[in-house]
C-alpha cells in the first residue's frame, strides 16, 4: 500500500512539473538544415549588392584568403577579383585545377591585397601579394592556369604565359576576344550532356 502511495505522489509531482514547464517560454533552436552547418556557412554567396561591404578607405586589405575560384578570393569579408588575369570558371576546363592551385598558393598565408578599383560586379579589383612579395597573378599565369588580360593589365603578365596557355584556356581567351557565342555553345553542350546523364 505504501508503494502505491509513493508511486501516486511521484506521478502527481511529474504532472505538476510538466504543467509548470509549459508556461515557461522555450528556447527555439534553428531547424537543422545544410545552411546551418559550419561547412555551409563558410562558402561565400554570389555577389549581392545589398549585402556587400564597401571597400575600405585605406585600399589595402590584409588577411587570410578564402579562394572562390582561380581569380577570385575573399579577405576579411571583402570579395576580391585578382588584378590583370583571367582564370577559367569552375565549370570550364582547368577551372577546378586553377582554383586548387590558388588554394595551394594562399593556404596558411597572409595575403596583402592593394585595391585598384571596383569592377562592374561590385568586387574590389586588387593586386595581391604573398608574404614573400610574389604576385598572385604572376604565379597563376606562370603555372599556365590563367592568362594575361591586357585590357586590364596593360600586358604586364603576357610574357609569363606558358606556350600552351591560350590553347588550353580557350574559353577565357574567347571571352577576352568578345566571342561570347563560344561560351554559350559550351554551356549549352554541358547542359545537354548533364541532361542525358540524368535520364
Total count of domains within the chain: 1
Q: Is residue 149 part of a domain?
A: yes
pLDDT > 70 in the chain, percent: 72
Compute the average pLDDT of residues 148-177. 85
- Is position 194 within any domain? no
Q: How confident is the model at residue 20 (pLDDT cuts 50, 70, 90)?
A: low
* Cell 546551418 -> residue: 36
Task: Identify the residue with better confidence: 139 or 18.
Answer: 139
Domain contains 88: yes
Q: What is the pLDDT of residues 111-123, one digit of tens each?
A: 999 999 888 888 8
Q: What DSSP assignment string belongs to 55-112?
A: PPTT-EEEEEEEEEETTEEEETTEEEEETTEE---TTSTTHHHHHHHHHHHHTT-EEE
Supply the DSSP string of the chain, one letter for each residue: -HHHHHHHHHHHHHHHHHHHHHHSPPPPPPP--GGGSHHHHHSPPSP-TTTPPPPPTT-EEEEEEEEEETTEEEETTEEEEETTEE---TTSTTHHHHHHHHHHHHTT-EEEEEEEEE-TTSPEEEEEE-TTS-BHHHHHHHTTSSEE-HHHHTTTTGGGS-TTHHHHTHHHHHHHTT-HHHHHHHHHHHHHHHHHHH-
Which range is least confidently modeled, 40-54, 56-70, 83-97, 126-140?
A: 40-54
197 is a domain residue: no
Rg (CA), the chain: 27
- Banded model confidence at residue 188, pLDDT cuts 50, 70, 90: confident
* Within-domain flag for 124: yes
Residue 118 lies inside a defined structural domain of this protein: yes
* pLDDT-derived band at 193, boundaries 50, 70, 90: confident
Please report the pLDDT score of residue 111 as a whole number: 96
Higher pLDDT, 134 or 167: 134
Give the integer Cα–Cα distance in Å for 141 and 71. 11
pLDDT-based confidence at residue 189 (cuts at 50, 70, 90) = confident
In this model, does residue 54 exceed pLDDT 60?
no
148 within a domain of the structure (yes/no)? yes
Report if residue 43 sits inside a domain: no
Domain limits for position 147: 48-188
* pLDDT higher than threshold 70 for residue 39: no
Residue predicted with more confidence, 83 or 180:
83
Nearest to 149 by CA among 70, 90, 42: 70
CATH number, position 87:
2.40.50.90
Q: Average pLDDT in the 4-15 region?
A: 70
Which is it for the CA torsion 148, 169, 113, 117, positive or negative? positive
Amino acid at each position: 500500500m505504501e508503494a502505491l502511495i509513493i508511486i501516486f505522489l511521484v506521478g502527481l509531482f511529474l504532472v505538476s512539473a510538466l504543467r509548470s514547464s509549459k508556461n515557461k517560454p522555450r528556447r527555439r533552436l534553428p531547424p537543422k538544415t545544410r545552411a546551418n552547418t559550419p561547412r555551409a556557412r563558410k562558402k561565400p554567396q554570389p555577389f549581392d549588392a545589398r549585402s556587400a561591404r564597401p571597400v575600405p578607405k585605406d585600399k589595402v586589405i590584409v588577411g587570410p584568403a578564402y579562394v572562390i575560384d582561380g581569380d577570385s578570393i575573399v579577405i576579411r569579408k571583402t570579395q576580391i577579383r585578382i588584378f590583370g588575369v583571367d582564370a577559367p570558371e569552375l565549370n570550364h576546363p582547368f577551372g577546378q585545377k586553377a582554383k586548387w592551385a590558388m588554394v595551394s598558393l594562399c593556404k596558411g598565408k597572409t595575403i596583402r591585397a592593394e585595391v585598384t578599383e571596383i569592377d562592374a560586379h561590385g568586387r574590389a579589383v586588387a593586386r595581391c601579394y604573398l608574404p614573400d612579395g610574389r604576385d598572385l597573378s604572376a604565379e597563376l599565369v606562370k603555372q599556365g592556369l590563367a592568362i594575361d588580360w591586357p585590357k586590364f593589365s596593360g600586358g604586364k603578365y603576357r610574357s609569363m604565359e606558358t606556350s600552351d596557355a591560350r590553347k588550353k584556356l580557350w574559353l577565357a581567351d574567347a571571352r577576352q576576344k568578345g566571342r561570347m557565342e563560344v561560351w554559350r555553345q559550351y554551356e549549352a553542350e554541358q547542359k545537354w550532356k548533364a541532361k542525358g546523364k540524368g535520364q
